[in-house]
């Protein structure tokens, strides 16, 4: 009986893992084998696809560009969101609730809406085709998200903690960095994770705002054909490598995410 009970779960996991397996499977095949017919595992096992990615600058610079703007974006988003979230959680000011909702509603607009104005604006000020352009554009979505998540965590810290620290003689900056931030570190982890993930998977803005210099991996990867015809093996290897950063980040915040869910902010 216990074996039977595990069966649906097994099927579900197989169903989930199948595309990833297939991607890995393809990444170790030659393009000829992929196009040649159906095979469950690579018959001519090859690492050439990966070798190509790590040696050809048009490929690996995509990763470097992506990581650059993703990290920039995460740092900017968290840095800006921390004081904003603190204000929303600790102070009452005119229109605070409306502003808070408006911030969130930014996330409801599809990125395509913003692609054109950003493209024109960044071209005009000379930011086009730099990692900075993408990092800033992604802030539009990530800052509200980070504020929303951090506000939840901050409101979970009793206001009396602030008061106690002031009574003890802490100045605001000292309290904020020495006492408050360590207390919401898990929230910062969760917010950073979501900023990272969004920025890492977002394609449209990243593609629109870059050309050659700052081309992200997602743009490189999604061109299906090149001068040498279909390079399916190469694309599969690139895809497999793209999963890795997300997997690493989620490993570090896996315990905090549950807390975020408990606060209703994830």
Partner 1 sequence: MTLELKGVSKRVGGEVHIYETSLALAESGFNILLGSTLAGKTSLMQLMAGLERPASGEIWFDGKNVTGVSVQQRNVSMVHQQFINYPNLSVFENIASPLRVARLPSQEITRRVESVAELLRLSPMLKRKPAELSGGQQQRTALARALVKDSDLVLLDEPLANLDFKLREELRDELPRLFADRGCTVVYATTEPAEALLLGGHTATLYEGRVTQFGETSRIYRAPKDLVSARVFSDPPINTAAVQRQGDTIILNEQVRWPANGLAMPDGPYTVGIRPHHLTPRAAGANAVQVSGQVQVTELSGSESIIHFDLEGRSWVSQSHGIHPHEVGEVASFFIDTERCLYFGPDEALVA
CB atoms within 10 A of CB 58: 12
- In whole angstroms, how close is the CB of 75 to partner 1 at the nearest point? 22
- In whole angstroms, how close is the CB of 119 to partner 1 at the nearest point? 45
For partner 1, give the closer residue by CB, 74 or 186.
186
- In whole angstroms, how close is the CB of 164 to partner 1 at the nearest point? 5
Interaction between residue 167 and partner 1 (CB under 8 A): yes
- The strand pairing partners of 230, in sequence order, are 225
Q: What character string, x for contact with partner 1 (CB under 8 A) and - otherwise, covers 101-140?
A: ----------------------------------------
Interaction between residue 164 and partner 1 (CB under 8 A): yes
For partner 1, give the closer residue by CB, 41 or 93.
93
Ramachandran assignment for 264, one of left (phi > 0), alpha (psi -120 to 50 degrees), beta (any other): left
Interaction between residue 171 and partner 1 (CB under 8 A): yes
Q: CB within 8 A of 229, min separation 6: which ones?
A: 31
Interaction between residue 262 and partner 1 (CB under 8 A): no
Q: CB within 8 A of 42, min separation 6: which ones?
A: 25, 28, 29, 33
CA angle in degrees (0–180, nearest 5) for 242-245-251: 135
- The strand pairing partners of 225, in sequence order, are 230
Residues that bind partner 1 (CB under 8 A): 92, 158, 160-161, 163-171, 174, 179, 182-183
């Amino acid at each position: 009986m216990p074996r039977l009970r595990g069966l649906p779960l097994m099927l579900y996991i197989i169903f989930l893992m199948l595309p990833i397996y297939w991607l890995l499977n393809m990444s170790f095949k030659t393009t000829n084998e992929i196009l040649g017919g159906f095979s469950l595992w690579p018959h001519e096992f090859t690492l050439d696809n990966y070798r190509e990615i790590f040696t050809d600058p048009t490929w690996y610079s995509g990763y470097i560009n992506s990581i650059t703007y993703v990290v920039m974006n995460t740092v900017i988003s968290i840095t800006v969101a921390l004081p904003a979230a603190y204000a929303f959680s600790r102070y009452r000011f005119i229109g605070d609730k409306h502003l808070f909702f408006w911030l969130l509603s930014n996330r409801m607009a599809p990125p395509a809406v913003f692609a054109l104005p950003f493209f024109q604006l960044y071209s005009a000020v000379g930011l086009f085709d730099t990692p900075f352009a993408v990092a800033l554009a992604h802030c539009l979505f990530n800052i509200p998200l980070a504020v929303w998540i951090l506000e939840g965590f901050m409101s979970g810290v009793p206001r009396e903690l602030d008061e106690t620290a002031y009574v003890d003689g802490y100045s605001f900056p000292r309290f904020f960095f020495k006492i408050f931030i360590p207390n919401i570190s898990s929230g910062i982890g969760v917010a950073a994770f979501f900023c990272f993930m969004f920025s890492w998977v977002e394609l449209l803005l990243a593609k629109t705002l870059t050309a050659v210099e700052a081309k992200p991996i997602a743009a490189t990867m999604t061109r299906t054909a090149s001068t040498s015809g279909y390079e399916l093996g190469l694309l599969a290897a690139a895809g497999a490598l793209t999963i890795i950063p997300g997997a690493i980040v989620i490993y570090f915040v896996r315990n905090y995410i549950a807390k975020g869910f408990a606060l209703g902010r994830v």
